[in-house]
Structure 1
């Protein structure tokens, strides 16, 4: 089930990537829900989104623990 949550999180982040504030809120939620190794995968995924939309860079602080 945890893997399903990771895939769902990626889907949501793709859909809200147009708004950096909303994107950051979803990243915060994901940081609470996902397992540590999934957070590392999520960081890689977010970095690929940041390459296309640099304004999302501010949200990486929520993944650094």
Structure 2
């Protein structure tokens, strides 16, 4: 599931609202260890672009 959500987030990263919606969906669907891995990946890949969204979703 983690790889699936990474793919989705990469594909919707052009749209801020869609990215946040899919990120919240991913966080709800994944187990805590996968959420941690997703968080690290998101900050590496989208940290500059979506830092406020990431901070809000992973708070």
TM over 0.5: yes
| Contiguous gaps of at least 5 residues in structure 1 | none
Q: Distance in 2 between matches of 1:41 and 1:22?
A: 21
2:41 equivalent to 1:39: no
2:38 equivalent to 1:49: no
Task: Indicate the structure (1 or 2) with the bigger Cα radius of gyration.
Answer: 1
Partner of 2:15: 19
2:52 equivalent to 1:58: yes
Counterpart of 2:24 (choices 28, 35, 58) is: 28
Q: Could you tell me the TM-score, scaled by structure 1's length?
A: 0.79
Q: Distance in 1 between matches of 2:17 and 2:51?
A: 11
Counterpart of 1:6 (choices 2, 9, 21) is: 2
Aligned length: 58
| Contiguous gaps of at least 5 residues in structure 2 | none
RMSD: 1.2
Shift of 1:62: 1.2
Q: Could you tell me the TM-score, scaled by structure 2's length?
A: 0.85
